Structure 1
Amino acid sequence: MGGARDILCDMSPSAPLAEVAQVFTRLGVTAFGGPAAHVAAMEDELVSRRQWVTRDEFADLVGAANLIPGPNSTELAIHLGYRRAGWRGLLVAGICFIVPAVLMVWGLAWAYGRYGGRVEVQAMLQGLQPAVLAVVVQAIWRLKGSLARTRLGGWLAIAAFIGALLGVSELYLLLGAIAIALTISASGQANGSPEAGMLFPMGALLPSGAAAAASTLSAGGIFLSFAKIGSVLFGSGYVLLSFLRGEFVTRLGVLTEGQLLDAIAVGQVTPGPVFSAATFVGYQLGGHAGALVATLGIFLPAFAGVALTAPLVHRLRTSPVLSRALDAVNAVSLALMASAVLLIGRGIAPSPAALAILIGASVLLLYTRVGAAWVLLGGAVTGLLRLLLAAS
């Protein structure tokens, strides 16, 4: 009877949904290492072991996630949940993958607000911040070939890098790159393709309104700012560094560059998506309400994007227009990461100790198999040791 009951349970409509919840909750708790590690873990679990999709189908879903703004590994999880359990699976997979990281970051944000002013904590953070930049340097180095792989992409990356250093908005740099790519594409196909609009950043419709609202630090304003960022951010999760800096450090002046690096560090050392750093920033801006609305704002566009594109995965993958536009967006994303490292590093590198940590951490990440979590821990310990040596 027990075996028959198990078979009936496996055949019930809720069985795939329960499996989706179980798989992605576990990945959300254990998936350390950033987006590339998340994709590898999903491939191993859901292609090799559980055979939810074939290897070719998995590759199509990875490509589809790259074609829409937002956190790519989270969008891949949402796509896989949709494939396994339909629209309910779409929601459950995304929520289960995101929530563990968000809860951890939320707790760390509370601890940061309560204890971040202590001398020893400040010392650890000062050692951690250049190590965070080293992690982004590693990401730039590894992604340079895939994100700027064409001659047009290379020129767009250079132009975007210069524009970012001159203070041009990240959103306008992305829009400009898309416009150039679509213009260069076959004009008849580009102008007539209904798919081209899918790469248009939804946040372009509300840049000034969101910024104005956020300047009041209301919950609604914080939500709009993060929804805008989540709607236009393509590429690696580390591009988030550039967008958060542009919105909250440069334009609104409500966050310091040190606080921004601390947020990225927390997003990196916890499992799940790096975008959970938004929860940390939201807490700094508006307490628990700020953490909640920042989290909703940064992740909701990913759910919307997957819901719109999930039925069209094959068509998206084979569209030359979207392929050309995506190459342009990826190139700009790489430039934005590089400009953020330079602009933030300019503020912390004048310290000989910070510069030494930045160089040492970069060498370890680029030329050894030491992981990012160990490098970040080493930076924090180095900062604490400097304090203890100075006090002795």
Structure 2
Amino acid sequence: MPMTDIPDVAPSPRHPRFADAIRAYARVGCLSFGGPAGQIALMHREFVDERRWVDEATFLHALNFCNLLPGPEAQQLATWIGWRLHGLKGGLAAGLLFVLPGAAVMLGLSMLYVLAAGLGWFAALFLGIKAAVLAIVVQALLRIAARALKTPLQRGIALASFVAIAIFTLPFPLVILGALLIGGAAGRWRSEWLKLSPTVAAPPPPAPSPWKQSLSAILIWGAVWAAPMLLILATLGRGHVLWDIGAFFSQLAVVTFGGAYAVLAYMAQEAVSGFGWLQPGEMADGLGLAETTPGPLILVTQFVGFLAAYRDAAPFTPFVAALFGAGLTLWVTFAPCFLWIFTFAPWIDRLERATGLKGALAAVTAAVVGVIANLSLWFALHVLFRDLIRSGWGVELPVLASLDLRALALALLAALLLFRFRMGIVPVLALCSAAGLLVGFVVPSLDFT
């Protein structure tokens, strides 16, 4: 409906035809650049402002609900909108169409990455991408901190999470669990410590058999989630890289509160130091590729799964193994998202009034600030310095003489474009990539590896 045809009094939300909804979901999936903030704004414009399929209060209510769940909140919000309009088939269509366009682009970029690796121009290109990613992560840190750290308790949780990961190298899931417990207790007994919004006292609307719906979703989507892992166990065994990929990203799907930035440092630590799937700089490359694709930023996991299987391919050829690795990573990353939505959607109104859950979410969001601060430090060390040494207590320290002035200059350029000129992420990545190539052509003798 054109905006000029909308009457002065807003109509009640309409029930669209499924075919119309499919076209809208595909449009959102192809245009969902800019991270969760831009994706949520796009969905608000499409489904609330223009099409009026969902009213404002319901949209915000659902967004709060999705923020309570692990996984990419924008993809889960899209899934919930589809479920709200057309039930299970609508949720599947909306969720898949939000992910698949970006996944297809990411697969193509991952193939190009392994084919062109080692070429001088390619390394110069990705020097610019790494430098831009460093500035993008710092921007995300500042934005989330401004929104999340409103009270002394939240600032204390953020600092504690940074120290726990950066200094004491505690596992990311343990940090999230601690924040959940602290926030749940504060939300229940000291909600003012987290500045929680007041709960709604009105009783929830009647829902048909919510227990039956939730139990069915758990059984069905639990089986969907586990199916490829059982197949791998039966055919390849627990010693194969595909089992490691599936098990690791299944675990990650349960603790991915706060989006891709929050778990990236943990994922990088395990993928680089734990499993040996990637080199440190390649994680920044993967995030740079994910930033240029539509869909959720957590698609960076697909890049990691692709490279992990490509480099340990037996008994398959490298590209066949890489396709299996990428597909498995997508499966165990996003099947849980459908499980969470279809399980908890019937309880959305009850969850909205649970102060303990609200407190847990507020505390996790604060902890995520500390986690992203650690990610910023990790990227800065691996992008700006060629050599690092491990101290006696396990913390990596830079060798100051190994400072890469080219990377520093490109990172400052990216920061200028982001903070001074307020350019979007994709143009910044494009300009910094071009600047990296320019450095490679102007000073071709420099070693970019």
With normalisation by structure 2, the TM-score equals: 0.76
The number of residue pairs the alignment matches comes to: 359
In structure 1, distance between residues paired with 2:149 and 2:16? 43
Aligned residue number for residue 132 of structure 2? 131
AA aligned to 1:39 is I
Mapping of residues 256-267 of structure 1, within 5 Å: 256-267=279-290
- For residue 136 of structure 1, give the secondary structure of its aligned residue in structure 2: helix
In structure 1, distance between residues paired with 2:85 and 2:118? 47
Does structure 2 conserve the Cα–Cα contact (< 8 Å) formed by 1:69 and 1:234? yes
Does structure 1 conserve the Cα–Cα contact (< 8 Å) formed by 2:413 and 2:432? no
Superposed displacement of residue 87, structure 1:
1.2
Unaligned runs of 5+ in 2: 1-14, 192-221, 223-228, 230-235, 310-321, 385-402
Aligned residue number for residue 350 of structure 2? 315
Superposed displacement of residue 236, structure 1:
3.3
- For residue 443 of structure 2, give the secondary structure of its aligned residue in structure 1: helix
With normalisation by structure 1, the TM-score equals: 0.86
2:275 counterpart of 1:252: yes
Does structure 2 conserve the Cα–Cα contact (< 8 Å) formed by 1:267 and 1:277? yes
In structure 2, distance between residues paired with 1:216 and 1:331? 37
In structure 2, distance between residues paired with 1:369 and 1:328? 30
Q: Percent identity?
A: 30
Does structure 2 conserve the Cα–Cα contact (< 8 Å) formed by 1:222 and 1:282? yes
Does structure 2 conserve the Cα–Cα contact (< 8 Å) formed by 1:217 and 1:285? no
Distance verdict in 2 for CA 1:229–1:372, change over 3 Å: same
2:96 counterpart of 1:61: no
In structure 1, distance between residues paired with 2:375 and 2:279? 14
Unaligned runs of 5+ in 1: 1-13, 190-201, 203-208
Does structure 2 conserve the Cα–Cα contact (< 8 Å) formed by 1:46 and 1:53? yes
Across the aligned residues of Structure 1 and Structure 2, the Cα RMSD in angstroms comes to 2.4
- For residue 17 of structure 2, give the secondary structure of its aligned residue in structure 1: helix
Aligned residue number for residue 363 of structure 2? 328
- For residue 328 of structure 1, give the secondary structure of its aligned residue in structure 2: helix
Mapping of residues 30-45 of structure 1, within 5 Å: 30-45=31-46
Distance verdict in 2 for CA 1:147–1:214, change over 3 Å: farther
Superposed displacement of residue 188, structure 1:
12
Greater helix share, 1 or 2?
1
Superposed displacement of residue 214, structure 1:
11
| Farther off after superposition, 349-358 or 245-254 | 245-254
In structure 2, distance between residues paired with 1:92 and 1:292? 18
AA aligned to 1:341 is S
In structure 2, distance between residues paired with 1:266 and 1:171? 26
Superposed displacement of residue 215, structure 1:
9.6
| Farther off after superposition, 338-347 or 180-189 | 180-189
Does structure 2 conserve the Cα–Cα contact (< 8 Å) formed by 1:74 and 1:94? yes
State which structure, 1 or 2, has the greater radius of gyration over its C-alpha atoms.
Answer: 2
Does structure 2 conserve the Cα–Cα contact (< 8 Å) formed by 1:137 and 1:341? yes
Aligned residue number for residue 92 of structure 1? 93
Q: 1:385 aligns with which of 422, 427, 438?
A: 438
In structure 1, distance between residues paired with 2:280 and 2:238? 17
AA aligned to 1:266 is L
In structure 1, distance between residues paired with 2:183 and 2:37? 26
Mapping of residues 201-240 of structure 1, within 5 Å: 216=239, 218-240=241-263
Does structure 1 conserve the Cα–Cα contact (< 8 Å) formed by 2:183 and 2:363? yes
AA aligned to 1:267 is A
